[in-house]
Chains A and B, each alone.
Chain A
Amino acid sequence: MAQPSRKTTPAPGTVEQHTSASSRWAPDLAALVAMALAGLAISVYLTTVHYAHVPLLCSAGGIVNCAQVTTSAYSVVPGTQMPITIPGMLWFLVSGSLASAAWRMQARTGVAPARLGLAHLGWGAIGLVTVLYLVYIEIVRLHAICEWCTAVHMLTLLTFLVALYRVQQLPVTTPLDDHED
């Protein structure tokens, strides 16, 4: 059985790339792609509803009130008429692209590029911070929750967690590791 090829011993702060036939199947990357597709689908639906001026398929009364959230003053990018679902679409598009690129690279070379993993983690952090702001708006300002938005928020949180998990698994020798040693 072939051993993972190690050309050199990685210096602190460099990335050691993991090559293994078994690592070509990447359930975490598949999950990231699936979540991006789901988020993209929801964002497209919400954007369509916004421009078509048709009612949303969700409850509209009490605490759970999609319409109140998606038609509030906070539902557009500040200073514009653009619904925030469009940046949401962009976020999921980029997230899906990063995961797809990593998956392709891994399938082709057996290498999970660390840079893509780190980029995905950073992108996920941006998404998570935005989601926390939007949840604040829903709960504190609007006193209403939107099911579709909550689904998108959950997908964003899960994307961040999976991206974080992937970075944790990277065979990276960092100054932090050395320090911990």
Chain B
Amino acid sequence: MAKQNRPRMDKTGQQGRSRAGGTEQLSRGQQRRREMKRARRPWWRGPAPLIGTVIVVLVLIGIFIAVANQGSSGASAHIGQPAAATIVRAVTTVSPSVIATVGTGNLPDPYRAISGPAPTTPGRTQVLYIGAEFCPYCAADRWSLVNALSRFGTFSNLHYMRSAVDDGNIATFTFYGSRYSSPHLSFVPIENEDRNANQLQSLTREQQQILSTLGHNGYPFVDIAGQYASANDGPNARPGGYDPSVLSRKDWSQIAGALSNAHDPITQGIIGNANYLTAAICTATHQQPARTCNTATIRFIEQLLPRGH
């Protein structure tokens, strides 16, 4: 507490100030003592520690902002780098409660029933993906694909990617060079073009035919065992399953971090779309594996899927 300076009392109890000539003398004395005291006051009793604390806090916050901005502006430096294990884990291990809460994410069904050729791998259901690294809808769809397919198997060697700078610059992964293993599914990802729209992976004659006849040559195209395919055409088509703009100006950690909140628009899009994909795959795998397919949420969404011909 601040000390109060009180008028000095003399021996008779009178204030020194009332004595003739004493006021000036005492004031000088008091002033001298005060000045000496101030001169002798250690630095740490002055305002320096208080001001210093505030300055240190402000400087640290400034450094944090600079680091964050540097990370954002240098985000393209991550492209082509292996995806961090923490990011992949956040996408592939979304909690069942979030999956259940999101449900369809209020999205329209992104798949339509088809009766096309059934690209299969013996003993396993085949999921065919055809996309391009520059494409923002593919960028959005890959988040859902990684999540949904991880309920049936395991991804490895995923790398960071962004859609083209002039096409959303959406943070995502690329399936180019990735690996996927599952006892139930065979996943065949084709990144037909790179981020600059140059040819990256070529399609087989059969894949080209499927893309042109069932996918209307649009990216992304997903074919689930010849039973369901992306609904890329029509007035209500939503390529990629959801609006990629929810991912705009977000980096991978922000998107992955959002997946723990069922009410976040990012989660509604990615997980809602992934739940549709999971339900469609479960229909094709005859509800295998049960821990993935035999849930109320997936069962419910399966009822919403269009019936095959």
Interface residues, chain A, with chain B CB atoms under 8 Å away: 1, 3, 18, 20, 22-23, 26, 28, 55, 60, 67-68, 71-73, 112, 128, 132, 135-136, 139-144, 157, 160-161, 164-166, 168-169, 171, 176-177, 179-181
Contacts and interface: CB of A to CB of B under 8 A. Distances in A.
Given A128-B53, A161-B54, 20 more contacts: A18-B1, A23-B1, A26-B1, A67-B261, A67-B263, A68-B257, A68-B264, A71-B261, A128-B57, A132-B60, A135-B61, A136-B64, A141-B253, A143-B68, A143-B72, A143-B254, A164-B50, A165-B50, A169-B2, A180-B41
A168 B44 contact: yes
B257 A169 contact: no
B116 interface: no
B96 interface: no
A45 to B, nearest CB: 18
Contact of A139 (B40, B46, B64): B64
Nearest to B67: A140
B251 to A, nearest CB: 7
B124 to A, nearest CB: 33
B1 A169 contact: yes
Contact of A144 (B54, B254, B260): B254
A32 B261 CA distance: 35
State the 9 A-B residue pairs at the shortest beta-carbon distance, nearest first.
A71-B261, A180-B42, A139-B64, A23-B1, A140-B68, A72-B257, A168-B45, A139-B68, A71-B260
Contact of A73 (B42, B49, B90, B250): B90
Contact of B9 (A1, A20, A176): A1
Contacts of A72: 257, 260
B65 interface: yes
B284 to A, nearest CB: 33
The CB with the most chain B CB atoms within 10 A, among A139, A157, A166, A171, is that of A139
B215 to A, nearest CB: 33
The CB with the most chain A CB atoms within 10 A, among B6, B9, B65, is that of B6
B177 interface: no
17 contacts: A3-B9, A18-B1, A20-B4, A60-B263, A67-B261, A67-B264, A68-B257, A68-B258, A72-B260, A135-B64, A140-B67, A142-B253, A143-B68, A143-B72, A143-B250, A161-B54, A165-B50
Nearest to B40: A181
Contact of A176 (B44, B54, B261, B263): B44
B289 interface: no
B53 A139 contact: no
A22 B2 CA distance: 10
Nearest to B86: A73
Contacts of A142: 253-254, 257
A180 B40 contact: yes
B42 A140 contact: no
The CB with the most chain B CB atoms within 10 A, among A1, A68, A176, is that of A68
Contacts of B117: none
A68 B44 contact: no
A68 B261 contact: yes
Nearest to B51: A161
B116 to A, nearest CB: 40
Contacts of B71: 140
Contacts of A144: 254
Contacts of A140: 64, 67-68, 71
Interface in B239-275: 250-251, 253-254, 257-258, 260-261, 263-264
A179 B40 CA distance: 10
A82 to B, nearest CB: 15
Contacts of B64: 135-136, 139-140
